[in-house]
């Protein structure tokens, strides 16, 4: 036994030693992939397969035909898996069969359908840092999408990572050790450290990367991609491509272009905002929590769904681009017949991007070719239905970008059988009539089988043995079997081959001659089918660039029609987009809350924000009145409007903003598990540093995470700074009534409150936002509603009355109820609270 294992284990150890650290090795042994040592221990636990031991070596294995399933499980568990194959036929190999690692699959590069979420990109990120600039490269190997972006602050980079949520991130060794990276990847950050892949620094060098990218795209310079100004990001892109093609030994031929993203074209949403607004499900959000994506995603294709998510997380910041989308929506909402037809046709189209990735990587089968052909066959009707749309519009552009490829559809239709198998080396894929030689071979094989049936009947008649059978096994092929009791009747020309307990097995020269014909024909037919399949697959792969272009156009048409459908079904209107400063919404609704089945009927509200007298809106009102809902609603409607979508309102005018910031006070953000006051202040600092006069800021209960005096002081100072220095449009919900005094001295501050109706000692929430400050605290009413004993409520009223008597404060300074009388602070430029 030792003699058998040793050379084999030597080979195993060599392959394993060449792998990146932490990679599990699937070692091909016959019909199994085996794992040894620690790999076996870990995999047996993750895969729930039996761990055995040979020569003290722990091992476990999975059958090769089910390998994809096990691979998927390991990748989902965040592991990297190298797959080794036998590189020669064990039957003819001299000595030890040669084995090699053919590919390595990692969470960021997986193509297996069982692991991928059709509605999300699966990104592999590359990260690089030089001279204060962060370069980011994002590759979705499963669709071929590849883009780069540069940032000048770690925070902006972190936001971009949060938006794309990569499954894996390649970083240079030197950055791994740096404090910047540690700051970017805290445990709750966009990446858990386990998903970091650390590579050597030289793979991030600019010349190396540029050269690799040029060779990959077969261009003499990268100028055509417009990435001249992005050297740091290019370095990241080079490292990513090197990692995928050289280290993981993967085929990336379907990656056909590199795109450059520039922030100025987009409405920037930072990570906190993505989470606070519930735009899309994030890692920190509760499973199944309602999101805007959930409300809007009525797309018909996975490509459309992925694009919608991109649009949501990167709304536009350019007037013309927003209006172009709105114009398309306008056409689609006015012509319901067109909308219905286009959506029906889109539903016929499969995930073209991922189909092409699998076919291009050499893994596609006949069913995928068929899915491709069916999807392509739906394109002429789609394009025709969009004919006559206004030139220059997104609908006409989309139709024009769709390439029909009738020859390919015809080829696949003629060549691939109706219900082809998953396997590509076992025949059954090619349609009769496609290839004369194949037909001939298959006919021979069929005739052979018929001849065998005839032969059996003939021999039964000749010998008079009714139970005589012609059978087949792998050792000596076709044979005649006669039971012991009939042996006497066996003819003399039968050649004895094997004696069984109850029967004897014979062959005849005639039988052997036919066997050669049948088996030979079948084998040649199967080999020929494989060859023909490869040719057809290659014909499809040749069209990758055109199909990717069509896919992008289809994704866009899908998102536009889905948004049009939502607009009609949910009663949305087209907001007027301006380059001005005003945001005016009449009867706006919260798009997510109004859809909740268990929610009360939603009460619409207005908003007016501008760069002048309505710059900073302070909203007061009791707990549960609807403050948080209202300020988030305004931010959501702006995001939707800048996506180019229609919005839930009666009428709206939106001056384009460059960024939306939201910050939710620590004690109100418990659900996200980031409840420290420190985090609250960090996020507030980020807003104060990065917001501009064209930003929209939503602050919910800022300052609440600390003591009252502290909290009011900070909230007050933040509000003043935003009003005087930043001049951003701001919505500030607070339960500190003291802040309403800001309106007395600051020209751009307006007070609003949430209307509450009092009947006796009870209150009803009317959900109406009205001008003016809430004039008293309703806390005691709420306490009463909550069932606090009457005695306690009565005593609270007494104390409140006493406190209100002690109220003091100068104009322009916050008033603060205190238990004892005191004198206002003397210094005018100090925040003299006490």
| Shortest Å distance, C-beta 701 to ligand ADP | 8
| Shortest Å distance, C-beta 715 to Mg ion | 14
How far is residue 487 from each of residues 466, 480, 501, measured CA to CA in Å?
12, 12, 13
Query: How is the beta sheet containing 52-54 ordered, strand by strand?
Result: 52-54, 57-63, 32-36, 23-29, 80-86, 99-105
| Shortest Å distance, C-beta 292 to ligand ADP | 15
Query: Contact with ligand ADP (CB under 6 A): which of 593, 664, 699, 731?
Result: 593
Three-state DSSP class for 589?
coil
Q: Of 136 and 631, which has the nearer Cβ to ligand ADP?
A: 631
Q: Which does 625 bind (CB under 5 to 8 A by kind): ligand ADP, Mg ion, none?
A: ligand ADP
Question: Locate tokens 């910050």: which residue?
Answer: 663
Q: Of 289 and 803, which has the nearer Cβ to Mg ion?
A: 289
Q: Of 592 and 639, which has the nearer Cβ to ligand ADP?
A: 592
Confirm if 234 and 146 have CB atoms less than 8 A apart: no
Tokens read off for 666: 């620590």
Minimal CA–CA distance to 266: which of 324, 320, 316, 325?
316
* Rounded Cα distance, 508 and 345, in Å: 61
Confirm if 703 and 663 have CB atoms less than 8 A apart: no
Name the one range near Mg ion by CB under 5 A: 251-259, 274-282, 624-632, 779-787: 624-632
316 DSSP 8-state letter? B
Q: Of 351 and 700, which has the nearer Cβ to Mg ion?
A: 700
| Shortest Å distance, C-beta 620 to Mg ion | 11
The answer to the question of residue 662 lying near Mg ion (CB under 5 A) is no
Q: Of 555 and 603, which has the nearer Cβ to ligand ADP?
A: 603
| Shortest Å distance, C-beta 404 to ligand ADP | 49
Name the one range near Mg ion by CB under 5 A: 512-520, 613-621, 623-631, 789-797: 623-631
**Which residues lie below 8 Å from residue 117, measured CB to CB, with a gap of 6+?**
none
Query: Contact with Mg ion (CB under 5 A): which of 628, 713, 751, 813?
Result: 628
| Shortest Å distance, C-beta 624 to Mg ion | 8
Question: Locate tokens 């100025």: which residue?
Answer: 264
Name the one range near ligand ADP by CB under 6 A: 200-208, 272-280, 598-606, 743-751: 598-606
Residues numbered 183 to 222 that lie near Mg ion (CB under 5 A) are: none
If residue 222 lies in a helix (H) or strand (E), which one and from where to where? none
Helix-strand-coil split of the chain, %, nearest 5: 45, 20, 35
Residues numbered 321 to 340 that lie near Mg ion (CB under 5 A) are: none
Q: Of 80 and 767, which has the nearer Cβ to ligand ADP?
A: 767
Binding mask 728-767 for ligand ADP (x = CB under 6 A): ---------------------------------------x
* Rounded Cα distance, 396 and 45, in Å: 55
Confirm if 634 and 605 have CB atoms less than 8 A apart: no
Name the one range near Mg ion by CB under 5 A: 173-181, 371-379, 628-636, 750-758: 628-636
Q: Are strands 23-29 and 32-36 parallel, antiparallel or unpaired?
A: antiparallel
| Shortest Å distance, C-beta 275 to ligand ADP | 16
* Rounded Cα distance, 133 and 157, in Å: 10
The answer to the question of residue 23 lying near ligand ADP (CB under 6 A) is no
Q: Which does 745 bind (CB under 5 to 8 A by kind): Mg ion, ligand ADP, none?
A: none
| Shortest Å distance, C-beta 533 to ligand ADP | 57
Question: Locate tokens 């949501």: which residue?
Answer: 312
Q: Of 629 and 642, which has the nearer Cβ to ligand ADP?
A: 629
Q: Of 526 and 740, which has the nearer Cβ to ligand ADP?
A: 740
Name the one range near Mg ion by CB under 5 A: 476-484, 550-558, 621-629, 722-730: 621-629
Name the one range near ligand ADP by CB under 6 A: 421-429, 493-501, 595-603, 648-656: 595-603
Tokens read off for 174: 């030197």
The answer to the question of residue 225 lying near ligand ADP (CB under 6 A) is no
Q: Of 389 and 605, which has the nearer Cβ to Mg ion?
A: 605
Q: At what angle do helices 366-377 and 509-541 cross, to 10 degrees?
A: 40
| Shortest Å distance, C-beta 699 to ligand ADP | 12
Give the binding-site size for Mg ion (rule: CB under 5 A).
1
Sign of CA dihedral 276, 280, 286, 288: positive
Q: Of 174 and 777, which has the nearer Cβ to Mg ion?
A: 777
Minimal CA–CA distance to 184: which of 141, 231, 244, 125?
125
Tokens read off for 226: 């417009």
Q: Of 568 and 783, which has the nearer Cβ to Mg ion?
A: 783
Label residue 600 exposed, middle or buried (CB < 10 Å: 0-12, 13-18, 19+). Answer: exposed
Q: Which does 621 bind (CB under 5 to 8 A by kind): Mg ion, ligand ADP, none?
A: ligand ADP
| Shortest Å distance, C-beta 621 to Mg ion | 9
What's the start-to-end Cα distance of the chain, in Å? 88
| Shortest Å distance, C-beta 756 to ligand ADP | 10
Tokens read off for 705: 């995470």
Give the binding-site size for ligand ADP (rule: CB under 6 A).
15
Q: Of 299 and 628, which has the nearer Cβ to Mg ion?
A: 628
Q: At what angle do helices 67-76 and 37-47 cross, to 10 degrees?
A: 90
Q: Which does 593 bind (CB under 5 to 8 A by kind): ligand ADP, Mg ion, none?
A: ligand ADP
Q: Which does 602 bind (CB under 5 to 8 A by kind): Mg ion, ligand ADP, none?
A: ligand ADP
| Shortest Å distance, C-beta 184 to Mg ion | 30
* Rounded Cα distance, 213 and 239, in Å: 10
Question: Locate tokens 């007061």: which residue?
Answer: 620
Q: Which does 775 bind (CB under 5 to 8 A by kind): Mg ion, ligand ADP, none?
A: none
Q: Of 258 and 603, which has the nearer Cβ to ligand ADP?
A: 603
Q: Of 671 and 744, which has the nearer Cβ to ligand ADP?
A: 671
If residue 603 lies in a helix (H) or strand (E), which one and from where to where? none
Question: Locate tokens 């609440």: which residue?
Answer: 704
666 DSSP 8-state letter? G
Query: Where are the strands (E) in 175-328, listed by range?
Result: 196-199, 259-260, 268-269
Tokens read off for 334: 């006015």
Cα 827 from chain centroid?
Answer: 55
Minimal CA–CA distance to 542: which of 704, 687, 411?
411
Q: Of 614 and 628, which has the nearer Cβ to Mg ion?
A: 628
Q: Which does 609 bind (CB under 5 to 8 A by kind): Mg ion, ligand ADP, none?
A: none
Q: Which does 79 bind (CB under 5 to 8 A by kind): ligand ADP, Mg ion, none?
A: none
Confirm if 260 and 227 have CB atoms less than 8 A apart: yes
Largest pairwise CA distance in the chain = 129
Residue nearest to Mg ion (CB): 628
Residues numbered 112 to 141 that lie near Mg ion (CB under 5 A) are: none
Binding mask 599-638 for ligand ADP (x = CB under 6 A): xx-xx-x---------------x-xxxxxxx---------
Minimal CA–CA distance to 553: which of 408, 394, 337?
394
Binding site for ligand ADP (CB under 6 A): 593, 599-600, 602-603, 605, 621, 623-629, 767
Binding site for Mg ion (CB under 5 A): 628
């Amino acid at each position: 036994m030792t003699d058998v294992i040793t050379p084999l284990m030597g080979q195993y150890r060599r392959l394993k030693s060449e792998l990146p650290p932490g990679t599990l090795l699937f070692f091909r042994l016959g019909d199994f992939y085996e794992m040894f040592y620690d790999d076996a221990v870990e995999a047996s636990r993750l895969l729930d397969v039996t761990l055995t031991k040979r020569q003290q070596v722990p091992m476990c294995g999975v059958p090769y035909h089910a390998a994809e399933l096990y691979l998927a499980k390991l990748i989902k568990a965040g592991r990297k898996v190298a797959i080794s194959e036998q590189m020669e036929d064990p039957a003819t190999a001299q000595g030890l069969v040669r084995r090699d690692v053919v590919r390595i699959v990692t969470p960021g590069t997986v193509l297996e359908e069982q692991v991928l979420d059709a509605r999300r990109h699966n990104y592999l990120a590359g990260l690089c840092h030089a001279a204060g600039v962060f370069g980011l490269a994002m590759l979705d190997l499963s669709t071929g999408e590849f883009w780069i972006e540069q940032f000048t602050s770690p925070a902006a980079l972190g936001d971009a990572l949060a938006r794309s949520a990569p499954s894996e991130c390649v970083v240079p060794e030197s950055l791994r050790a740096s404090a910047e990276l540690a700051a970017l990847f805290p445990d709750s950050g966009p990446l858990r450290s386990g998903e970091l892949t650390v590579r050597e620094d030289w793979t991030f060098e600019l010349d190396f990367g540029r050269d690799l990218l040029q060779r990959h795209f077969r261009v003499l310079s990268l100028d055509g991609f417009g990435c001249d100004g992005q050297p740091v990001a290019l370095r990241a892109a080079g490292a990513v491509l090197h990692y995928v093609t050289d280290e993981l030994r993967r085929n990336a031929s379907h990656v056909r272009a590199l795109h450059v993203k520039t922030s100025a074209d987009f409405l920037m949403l930072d990570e906190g905002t993505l989470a606070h607004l519930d735009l899309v499900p994030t890692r920190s959000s509760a499973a199944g929590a309602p999101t805007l994506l959930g409300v809007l995603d009525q797309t018909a294709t996975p490509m459309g769904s992925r694009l919608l998510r991109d649009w949501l997380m990167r709304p536009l910041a350019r007037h013309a681009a927003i209006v172009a989308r709105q114009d398309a929506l306008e056409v689609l909402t006015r012509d319901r017949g067109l909308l219905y037809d286009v959506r029906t046709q889109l539903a016929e189209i499969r995930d073209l991007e991922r189909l092409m990735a699998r076919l291009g990587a050499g893994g596609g089968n006949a069913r995928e070719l068929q899915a491709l052909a069916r999807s392509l066959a739906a394109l002429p009707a789609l394009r025709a239905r969009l004919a006559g749309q206004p030139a220059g519009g997104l609908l006409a552009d989309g139709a024009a970008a769709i390439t029909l490829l009738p020859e390919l559809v015809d080829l696949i239709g003629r060549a691939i059988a109706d219900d082809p198998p998953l396997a590509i080396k076992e025949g059954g894929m090619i349609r009769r009539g496609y290839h004369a030689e194949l037909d001939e071979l298959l006919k021979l094989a069929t005739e052979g089988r018929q001849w065998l049936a005839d032969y059996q009947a003939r021999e039964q008649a000749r010998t008079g043995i009714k139970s005589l059978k012609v059978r087949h096994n792998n050792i000596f092929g076709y044979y005649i079997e006669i039971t012991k009791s009939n042996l006497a009747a066996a003819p003399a020309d039968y050649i004895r081959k094997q004696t069984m307990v109850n029967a004897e097995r014979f062959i005849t020269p005639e039988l052997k001659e036919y066997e050669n014909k049948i088996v030979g024909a079948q084998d040649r037919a199967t080999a020929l089918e494989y060859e023909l399949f490869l040719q057809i697959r290659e014909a499809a792969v040749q069209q990758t660039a055109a199909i990717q272009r069509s896919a992008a156009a289809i994704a866009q048409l899908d998102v536009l029609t889905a948004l049009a459908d939502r607009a009609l079904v949910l009663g949305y209107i087209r907001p007027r987009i301006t380059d001005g400063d005003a945001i005016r919404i009449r009867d706006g609704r919260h798009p997510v809350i109004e859809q909740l089945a268990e929610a009360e009927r939603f009460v619409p509200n207005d908003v007016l924000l501008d760069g002048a007298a309505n710059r900073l809106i302070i909203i007061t009102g009791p707990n549960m009145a609807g403050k948080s809902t209202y300020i988030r609603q305004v931010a959501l409607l702006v995001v939707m409007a800048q996506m180019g979508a229609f919005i839930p309102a009666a009428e709206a005018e939106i001056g384009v903003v460059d960024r939306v910031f939201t910050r939710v006070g620590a004690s109100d953000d418990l659900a996200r598990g980031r409840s420290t006051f420190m985090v609250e202040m960090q996020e507030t600092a980020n807003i104060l540093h990065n917001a501009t006069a064209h930003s929209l800021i939503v602050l919910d209960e800022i300052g609440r995470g600390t003591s009252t005096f502290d909290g009011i002081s900070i909230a007050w100072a933040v509000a003043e700074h935003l009003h005087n220095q930043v001049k951003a449009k701001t919505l500030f919900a607070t339960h500190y009534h003291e802040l309403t005094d800001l309106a007395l001295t600051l020209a751009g501050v307006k007070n609003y409150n949430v209307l509450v109706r009092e009947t006796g000692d009870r209150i009803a929430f009317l959900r109406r936002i009205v001008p003016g400050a809430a004039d008293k605290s309703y806390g005691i009413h709420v306490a009463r509603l909550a069932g606090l004993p009457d005695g306690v409520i009565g005593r609270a009223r007494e104390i409140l009355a006493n406190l209100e008597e002690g109220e003091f404060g100068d104009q322009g300074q916050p008033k603060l109820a205190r238990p004892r009388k005191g004198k206002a602070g003397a210094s005018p430029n100090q925040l003299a609270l006490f």
